[in-house]
Amino acid sequence: MKQFILYFIFIVSFFSFAQPKEVPTPFLENVVKQFPNVRDIALTKNQDEVVFSAQSFMGDMSALIACKRVNGIWQAPELISFSGQYFDIEPFFSKDGLKLFFASNRPIDASSNETKDFDIWYVTRKSKLDDWSKPINLGAPINTTMDEFYPVITDSKNIYFTLDNPKLKQKDNIYVSEYINGSYTNPKSLGNEINSDGYEFNAFVAPDETFIIYTCYNRKDGLGSGDLYLSKKQDDRTWSVATNMGEKINSNKMDYCPFVDITSNTLYFTSKRLGNHTKLNSKSIEDLQSIFNQYNNGLSRLYKVKLD
């Protein structure tokens, strides 16, 4: 009976966490609409700075953009000093906001212009008022000759990321490299509760590693091409079987790139969702442009939603 009660409590808390009372709303709408596609949001702990990826219409160019909030007002976006020459994506702030991790195909040798596979890089700064350093490659054992994406660093300094290993029959998977005795261990897959033979990528892991939200592509219980799924760390330190976060968050289009602000319990994510404009009812060029330029027009946009 006791086990049943504990199981029931777990199911209720899991379901309530995954089912927000609100619907997702645009985040930084006026800023985001300045770019063809925007994705990969990262926020500092006190929510006074945001970094995201701005991409071309075809997604073949990508740079990191920063916005700072002063007196409660988000300032104009700026190209980050080290970005704009290579394909830079998927930023993540350290807890103190003085280190920024990201994925890039930039060359290891600064004297070369030849791009390589995607690695995880980072930059540092002495304070939030200082400029970022030159990018530093995170190195082995995390970076390899394969593609590494979407870094997330927890309070224990463990690094979770997406790895595309062509040697496996599986597609993209979520991996972790643990920080033990001052160094990182060889990355290992999170297992079948999280990964499958299909695509699993772009994972946000809670700072205390109690839950993970990530994207699964074309799963049987999915609502669109890509959906956000949730898993929690169990008492035996294994992950629970991932559950679709439901239609209040996921659309019938691509939903991906999650980030959770733990302080406000707010989920930020990227979506290519469409608004209710399946029928044109335009009487002028202005009407037509208004429909085409809606925020939810199928291009990558940023959204947010409270999780409680």
What pLDDT, in 10s, does the model give residues 183-222? 999 999 998 999 998 899 999 999 999 999 999 999 999 9
Listed in order, strand segments (DSSP E) in 194-284 are 199-205, 211-217, 226-232, 243-244, 255-261, 266-271
Please answer whether residues 123 and 99 qualify as being in contact, where contact means their C-beta atoms are separated by less than 8 angstroms.
Answer: yes
pLDDT at 1 exceeding the cut of 60: no
Residue 118: which pLDDT band, with cuts at 50, 70 and 90? Answer: very high
Please answer whether residues 11 and 272 qualify as being in contact, where contact means their C-beta atoms are separated by less than 8 angstroms.
Answer: no
> Please, what's the b/e burial string for 74-93 (b: 16 or more CB within 10 A of its CB; e: otherwise)?
beebeebebbeebbbbbbbb
Mean pLDDT to the nearest integer, 224-248: 95
Residue 262's alpha-carbon distances to 12, 42, 44, in angstroms, are: 20, 12, 11
Listed in order, strand segments (DSSP E) in 88-196 are 88-93, 99-104, 119-124, 136-137, 147-153, 159-164, 173-177, 179-180, 183-184, 188-189
Tokens of 149: 């994406």
What pTM value is reported for the model? 0.91
3 state SS of 70: strand
Least trusted range by pLDDT, from 57-61, 149-153, 195-199: 195-199
The CATH number of domain 2-301, selected from 2.120.10, 2.60.98, 3.30.70, 3.30.413: 2.120.10
What pLDDT, in 10s, does the model give residues 95-108? 999 999 999 999 99
pLDDT at 112 exceeding the cut of 70: yes
CA 31 from centre of chain: 18
Residue 153: which pLDDT band, with cuts at 50, 70 and 90? Answer: very high
